[in-house]
Amino acid sequence: MNDNDHPCRPDETCLSAPRKHVPLQAARRMATAALCLALPGMVRAGSPAVAGQVPAVDLRIDSWSSSPEGLALGWTGPEGNWAYTVQAARTIDGIWITPEWRASWPQTGAAWTDTGIGRDAHRFYRVLAVEPSERGHLLSSEVIGVYGTVQIKTLLKLAGVDFEPQLGVEVRQLVYETIDPIGNRTVASGALVLPQGFSAPVPLVTYQHGTMAARSEAPSLAGGLELMIGVAFASVGYAASLPDYLGLGVSTIRHPYHHAKSEATAAVDMLRATRQFCAANNRLLNDQLFLFGYSQGGHATLALLRELETFLPDEFPVTAAAPMAGAYDLAGTTAADILSGRRLPNPYYFALLLSAYQDLYHFADSLEAMLVEPWRTTVPPLLDGEHSGAEINAAMPDEVLRALRPEIAAALRDDPDHPLRQALEVNSLLDWTPVSPLRLYHCSGDQDVVFANSIVARDAFAERGVAVELIEPSPGADHGGCVMPSLLDALAWFETFRSGPGLFAARPAR
């Protein structure tokens, strides 16, 4: 069958390897078998196929059955040590998405049940065979900084923060093994900040940083304010884990911006590497774990909380979580904001999002194919992980839809099932029920990540029976002005849960 064939009829099983739907970045070896299923039970056997871009291995979807629980798939994998990720698409030309965040991918078994498909749904499936990862395995650690209390106070003062550090800290870069967005083994980095001169076991806190475009801006490479947030927490007796994310720091793949699953897995595996380092070096941790993050880090923090509560509640019980100013409602609030046509203060956010989702979901032939001149020529070269957000901003129009081909902008507005809007939907974070203590922080003057994201998230969780507080620590503040009030208020709140001695002296938590 050639690349342009669309052979699937409602009563057929079809196996193929569509040319543009396999995300191959950082893949070591991968095989694909795709199965078109129409109404459950209306299928028959077909022939296997593998992606032509990779070494051929034997991978066959060879069983399927429907039941009230869902559609069960089984496959025969290649010889050797492989793991598997299942993806689904609504049409053969649609985007391939790993269905059901409730499933942990990749998996080692050769069977899976799709509990999210309706009895009358049509869906295409494919199985990806990927090289397994020893997730969280610490590959290296290197001291990149030591800060005394006077230096910490001075640096924070220069950033406009009045803060009283109690301990000096040591900063290390950790490099560890993790997985990419489809489950291939890859490497990532992060910063670990540990208090000095404090003998009692300390709680672990993970901070997910905000948007950055250049790999060199990551906390474990650049330092800066993002790292100083971890330094501040460590200086009052926390062990602070700061994942760089995939595509930043030492990671060489494209940064999967606002891809919820890989934000979570990179942070999980950084926590594992942190625990491994602390255990090997007699740095005592207690059993408490706190999560927080701002902007993109707010989205990443909520994604991480969902991942930990769903799959790892025993390994990582969460004490409390504080996502801040995140785009939790990508498919609703964020999409509406983009489509409004207003002038955005940081149009590079949209450029990063469009580039990342094209790389992940392949809804066009290329990023360039979606853009008009001059942006078709000027913007894509800046999205290589070597240029800053300021450089991308300078190349982008404030009204970001002007950069798109008119027919694509119109399709985004008019078609709720447009592939980009499907991608936004699958990376929104409202379709689950949190159980850990959870606060959302946001300020109503935010023009970068509009405040309605947090209102919608709070209300969505309330509909699921969970009362989540939405704290506005500095009423009316903009995106930048809300950062430090949110962080300091969250730290005071974390202290109310803390076991053992606490060192943070501040106003009482709300």
- Alpha helices by DSSP H, listed for 223-324, are 224-234, 260-280, 296-311
pLDDT confidence tier of residue 35, bands split at 50, 70 and 90: low
| pLDDT for residue 223 | 80
Terminal Cα distance for the chain, rounded:
64
Q: How do residues 110-141 score in pLDDT, each as one tens digit?
A: 998 888 765 446 678 888 888 888 999 999 99
The architecture in CATH of the region 31-130 reads Sandwich (2.60)
What is residue 102's predicted lDDT score, i.e. its pLDDT?
A: 73
Coil/strand/helix, residue 281: coil
Same fold, 31-130 and 138-328+432-495: no
pLDDT at 470 over 80: yes
Q: What is the pLDDT of residue 503?
A: 67
- Supply the pLDDT for residue 504: 67
Helix axes 260-280, 296-311, angle to 10 degrees: 70
Structure confidence by residue, pLDDT tens digits, 415-468: 998 999 999 999 999 999 999 999 999 999 999 999 999 999 999 999 999 999
The tokens for 111 are: 């069977």
Q: Quick check: 9 pLDDT over 50?
A: no
Q: Which two tokens stand for residue 148?
A: 């005394």
Give the pLDDT of residue 304. 99
273-296 per-position pLDDT tens digit: 999 999 999 999 999 999 999 999
Sign of CA dihedral 493, 499, 504, 507: positive
Average pLDDT of the chain?
87
Cα distances (Å, whole numbers) of residue 471 to 149, 184, 443: 30, 38, 8
C-alpha distances (whole Å) from 444 to each of 347, 420, 430 are 20, 27, 20
Least confident of 17-26, 143-152, 158-167: 17-26
Encoded amino acid at 237, one letter: G
pLDDT score of 16 more than 70: no
Nearest to 217 by CA among 256, 178, 191: 191
44, 202 in Cβ contact below 8 A? no
* Percent of residues, the chain, with pLDDT higher than 70: 85
Report the CATH number of the 138-328+432-495 domain: 3.40.50.1820
Q: What's the rounded Cα separation, in Å, for the pair 9 and 505?
A: 67
C-alpha to C-alpha distance for 115 and 121, rounded to whole angstroms: 12
Q: Which of 3-7, 194-198, 226-230 has the lowest mean pLDDT?
A: 3-7
pLDDT tens digits, 43-76: 333 323 333 334 445 788 888 888 787 888 899 8
Global pTM? 0.90
Nearest Cα to 278, choosing from 250, 240, 246? 240
Ordered by start, the domain boundaries in the chain are 31-130, 138-328+432-495, 330-426
